[in-house]
Amino acid sequence: MPTSIAPAVFKNYINGEWVESRGGKMIEDRNPADTSELLGLFPASSEVDVAFAVDAAKAAFPKWRLTPAPKRAEILFRAAEILIERKDEYAVLMTREMGKVLPETRGDVQEAIDMTYLMAGEGRRQFGQTTPSELPNKFAMSVRTPVGVAGLITPWNFPMAIPSWKAMPALICGNTVVLKPAEDTPFSTYNLTQVLEEAGLPAGVLNVVFGEGPGAGSPLLTNPDVNLISFTGSTEVGRIVSQACAPTFKKCHLEMGGKNIIIVMDDANLDLAIEGAIWGGFGTTGQRCTAASRVAVHKKVYREFVEKFVARAKKLRVGDGLEPTTDMGPCINEQQLKTVMRYVEIGKDEGAKLATGGNRLDKGDYAKGWFHEPTVFTDCDPAMRISQEEIFGPVVALIPFETFDDAISIANGVNYGLSASIYTRNVNNAFRAQRDLETGIVYVNAPTIGAETHLPFGGTKNTGNGHRESGVAALDFYSDWKTVYIDYSDRLQRAQIDNTAG
């Protein structure tokens, strides 16, 4: 007699306990490579749940703020050790949850490990400044102080790495956290939360509310007891986040879209550039804010590059990310797949040449997933929409150019400024590129993806609002500077009034 197994049901994590959502509604977490696989049911949280979580974070803040930073660091260090032990387990589940191939999900967990270790180290390195005063018998210094309750809203494409990018610096600086992960990938955040709980994070210091943007994200933005917001997602939603934070002057960090470029000069190692462009364009199915969705190639090598690049793209094997032969997994959901398909039609209508791909894969092994072919357009104009707008899928536009200056102009001629790359053997052009490219990240002889956790991550223009993730730069967002003057002169000193020449 056939039987059915009830799906696992998960809860929010608030004040150190796993608690049911007040509304009782749930969201399905399904495998994008096989939508018949239901991984679990997660809460569709509401404003009431968010308020409960914020209250817990606010109540925990005074004690956590006064916990010495090196003691906070010990907890993070233990969390990193646990993540190492469970790396493969969590990677497999992440591939089932969001689709990217297993080597990439192992890398996602490794980023969380790296960031957690890095921020554990910052527990003893939150340095300020000490400086001579302009007046006698007076001491001057600056120290970091926590901001308060941090509201973190994270995307689905790096479901453990990006929550760690935000949560670990927030925690080491002495803030308490309310985290709202993407509704498509709640399981990876659940795993990260379990690790922090086991590592000894006190109740209320980290709180997690699962759910969709309107139900759980929006109330986090407007709650008056949330002191800062860090958001990673689209530029369109980022604008809404910024506007929601403005009335109460919440500290706001936005990490948004990208339309990144690889420049291939005529003196480049062409085979290396092709491999880099394949990885940059189709890694994570193109679903990265740093994806190389544009490749500008010098006309002297353009035809050779096109021939080899298209041939290489045709060989990419699309399928379930758990299969060792798979090079590229599915899109995250039906909506994202339809966006990719719409941009393919836009490219055709604009007159770009479709060299390979362009179709949804929905037969045989692909029937239950959200798969799309690796797609390459050639002879693209820099002004085309497929050369200007973020697609967030496996679509690459190849653009010919004549001179180095043309390439830089093409690269900078978009509304985004996250990452750029140049392949060249000319050291002069390499240095000119890193100076003149209007992006927060520049690679030389490497693709536009591959950021390391100890350096700042972020961009310019419509990519961000000036703050940075990762490295010591992250501490600047999750802490406030306090300047301290200690006058031991035993008399009134009036700074510039008494500090006069002659």
For 75-122, what is each residue's pLDDT tens digit?
999 999 999 999 999 999 999 999 999 999 999 999 999 999 999 999
Same domain, 142 and 172: yes
Q: Which pTM value belongs to this model?
A: 0.95
Same domain as 470, residue 438 = no
Q: Which band of pLDDT confidence, cut at 50, 70 and 90, is reported for residue 3?
A: very low
496 within domain boundaries: no
Nearest to 15 by CA among 203, 208, 152, 149: 203
Residues recognised as catalytic: 255, 289
For the stretch 45-73, pLDDT in tens is 999 999 999 999 999 999 999 999 999 99
Measured CA angle at 49 (ends 151, 465), to 5 deg:
20
- The total number of structural domains in the chain stands at 2
One domain for residues 130 and 25: yes
Q: How high is the pLDDT of residue 499?
A: 75
Read off the CATH number of the domain in which 167 is found: 3.40.605.10
Give Rg (Cα) of the chain. 24
The H-or-E segment that residue 163 falls in is helix 161-172
pLDDT digits (tens, 9 = 90+) for 441-499: 999 999 999 999 999 999 999 999 999 999 999 999 999 999 999 999 999 999 888 87
- Same domain as 274, residue 144: no
What pLDDT does 23 receive?
A: 85
User: Does residue 488 lie within any of the structural domains?
Assistant: no
Q: Which residues contact 315 (CB under 8 A, 6 or more apart)?
A: none
Range of 284's domain?
A: 261-444
Looking at the fold, whether 85 and 228 belong to one and the same domain comes out as yes
Side by side, the strands of the sheet bearing 479-487 are: 129-132, 138-146, 479-487
> Are residues 189 and 125 both part of a single domain?
yes
- DSSP one-letter code for 27: E
Q: Is residue 24 part of a domain?
A: yes
pLDDT of 39 = 97
Same domain as 478, residue 428? no
The 10s digit of each residue's pLDDT in 358-390 is 999 999 999 999 999 999 999 999 999 999 999
> Is pLDDT of 4 > 60?
no
CA dist., res. 328 & res. 373, Å (int) = 9
Nearest-CA neighbor of 168 among 449, 452, 471, 463? Answer: 471
Q: Are residues 362 and 245 in the same domain?
A: no
474 in any annotated domain: yes
CATH code at position 398 = 3.40.309.10
Same domain, 218 and 287: no
Q: Is residue 6 situated within a structural domain?
A: no
**Over the stretch 394-431, which tens digit does the pLDDT of each residue have?**
999 999 999 999 999 999 999 999 999 999 999 999 99
249 and 329 belong to one structural domain: no
**66 belongs to a structural domain:** yes
Q: Output the pLDDT for position 498.
A: 84
3-state secondary structure 302-364: HHHHHHHHHHHHHCCCECCCCCCCCCECCCCCHHHHHHHHHHHHHHHHHCCEEEECCCEECCH
Q: How confident is the model at residue 1 (pLDDT cuts 50, 70, 90)?
A: very low
Q: Which pairing describes strands 261-264 and 419-423: parallel, antiparallel, or unpaired?
A: parallel
* DSSP assignment letter at 217: I
Question: 498 in a domain, yes or no?
Answer: no
Cα(27)–Cα(236) distance, integer angstroms: 24
pLDDT tens track for 279-332: 999 999 999 999 999 999 999 999 999 999 999 999 999 999 999 999 999 999
What integer pLDDT is reported at residue 5 of this predicted model? 66
C-alpha separations of 63 from 58, 71, 206, 415 in Å: 10, 12, 13, 43
- Confidence at residue 496, expressed as pLDDT on a 0 to 100 scale: 86
Whether residues 385 and 359 share a domain: the answer is yes
83 found inside a domain: yes
Cα three-residue angle 10-11-15, rounded to 5 degrees: 150
Q: Which residues of 293-328 are buried (b: 16+ CB within 10 A; e: fewer)?
A: bbbbbbeebbeebbebbbebbeebebbbbbeeebbb
Q: Which amino acid is residue 70, in one-letter code? A: P
Q: Are residues 346 and 236 in the same domain?
A: no
How far apart CA 172 and CA 117 sit, in angstroms, is 11
